[in-house]
Amino acid sequence: MLRAFFGRGFIVRGPINHTTKSLRFLSTEFKDTISKSDNSTKQNIPDFKSEMEHWEKMLKRYPVLPSETSSDISYYKKFDTLPESFETTNSKDQLVLKTISDSYCELWLPFRDAPSLLNQYVNQQGEIRVGKILEDLDRLAGAIAYKHTSDIDGQIKNLVIVTAAVDRIDIHEYLDSDCIYKASGHVVHVGYSSIDISLVLNKVLSTEEGSSEKPCLTARFTMVARNRDTGKAEQINPLMLSSEKERIAFKTSELIKREKSLLNKKGLEKTPPNFVENNDYNSSSMNKDFVWLDDTTMSSVHVCFPSERNIHHKVFGGFLMRVGHELAYANACMYSGANPISKSLDDFSFTKPVNVGSILRLTSQVIYSSDLDSTEQSHDDKHFQVSVKVDVLDPTKQTIETTNTFYFTFESNSPVRRVIPRTYDDMIKYIEGRRRSQIGSFISNAQQI
């Protein structure tokens, strides 16, 4: 059950009570070593193959024990056997007032000391696959949300948590394969049924490098709770703010929600491009060094197998993010003629669930790049945006339904040609990319308040 929800390689921590048939979490206190005298714990280590002897040497440095799986190593302390689905409570107990620290969870990715784990995250150039990190962040956000919505005994209530939207993901530092990373997060804002979660991926530094951790990635997820039986919005536990820092984070979330609401009201489906946007599009056509937007199209098709399902037997949202990023990265490589760096994932929503067995068609295009003479502070001539539209194909009904569109920003190591729309539809995509780039920059700046 633990791997069925959290996926592989997860360490989940946080102050919460637990029972035999409920989701369990480790305490928030992190110890630097494991005592050699803890014989009772060592008896729980499985009989590893020869290559697993390497992990024994690592136990002195991590507060967790390795457990053999079919293809990799998952890091967690001893848990009792859990069922393949959540045991939930149907009790009508009162809501529990939770603090921000109550929802804290963390995930360790010790790439430097775990070659088998690294093999799953590294690409052909020896770099960390950002798509795999996005997949893990979605799992971590789900763990945090379920933790906040649990009852006073630590049991999961009769509800379903789904990823509604990703507000913004910023990659601040290059992700090195010869490092140790820790992803952590907690709830920062709750509504009636919505949960805003702030995540950060830190590089764990050695004592010689000075400070203990260095932020490399920040993210904001919005999760929503639904009643398992009715599918309607379910009220969740309220959030108690105990410090000025927590109150600022709460207000920042409200500010971001207002700005996103204003952007949606000005969406191109409701309001046409304004004069400035039209003028920018028309003047951009004068640039000689350009590529037509529709010439940057790249697509792929995936069949959604049961291995990609979540605990609710729908396709895992993190899987969609991973395959979306991988297609966007391939397109970005072709467009820039090099290996670009992933910089951000802009605001998007999961509008419809994807069933196991669905056929996915992903369509990617480079939809926006800044002008060589641009004065925008958030971009320069090395940045460009790639969209990935995810369609669900139904072979029985012969229908096509769009579930969501991702917007990734990349940075090339040299100036790139400007992308130019050739048709009105392409112009709409171009302006939409520019607008999302602007709101993404606003969210990034707001999180630094």
Which structural domain range is residue 137 located in? 2-260
Q: What is the DSSP letter of 96?
A: P
> Final residue of a domain: which of 207, 235, 260?
260
Look at residue 287 in the predicted model and tell me its pLDDT.
56
Shared domain check, 281 and 405: yes
Shared domain check, 67 and 6: yes
Shared domain check, 309 and 205: no
When divided into structural domains, the chain yields a total of 2
Shared domain check, 275 and 236: no
Shared domain check, 166 and 62: yes
CATH code of the domain in which 30 resides: 3.10.129.10
Is pTM, for the whole model, over 0.85? no
**Residue 122, pLDDT above cutoff 80:** yes
- Place 117 in a pLDDT band, splitting at 50, 70 and 90: very high
- Place 392 in a pLDDT band, splitting at 50, 70 and 90: very high
Shared domain check, 279 and 237: no
- Place 61 in a pLDDT band, splitting at 50, 70 and 90: very low
Shared domain check, 150 and 251: yes
pLDDT: is 381 or 266 the higher one?
Answer: 381
Nearest to 105 by CA among 77, 68, 67, 142: 142
Q: What is the DSSP letter of 379?
A: -
> Final residue of a domain: which of 260, 280, 310?
260
When mean pLDDT is compared across 154-163, 215-224, 333-342, the lowest value belongs to 154-163
**Residue 81, pLDDT above cutoff 60:** no
Shared domain check, 439 and 306: yes
Q: Of 49-58, 76-85, 172-181, where does the model show the most confidence?
A: 172-181
> Final residue of a domain: which of 225, 260, 295?
260
Which segments of 26-74 does DSSP mark as H helices, in order?
39-42, 53-58
Shared domain check, 346 and 245: no
Shared domain check, 24 and 64: yes
Beta strands in 151-257 (DSSP E): 156-157, 159-171, 180-190, 194-204, 213-227, 239-240
Contacts 24+ apart (CB under 8 A), 249-252: 249/100, 249/188, 249/189, 249/198, 250/188, 250/189, 252/188, 252/446, 252/447, 252/449
Q: Are strands 180-190 and 239-240 parallel, antiparallel or unpaired?
A: unpaired
- Place 407 in a pLDDT band, splitting at 50, 70 and 90: very high
Shared domain check, 277 and 256: no
Shared domain check, 254 and 377: no
Beta strands in 193-238 (DSSP E): 194-204, 213-227
The pair of three-digit structure tokens given for residue 269, joined into one six-digit string:
């489906």
pLDDT: is 10 or 366 the higher one?
Answer: 366
Look at residue 282 in the predicted model and tell me its pLDDT.
52
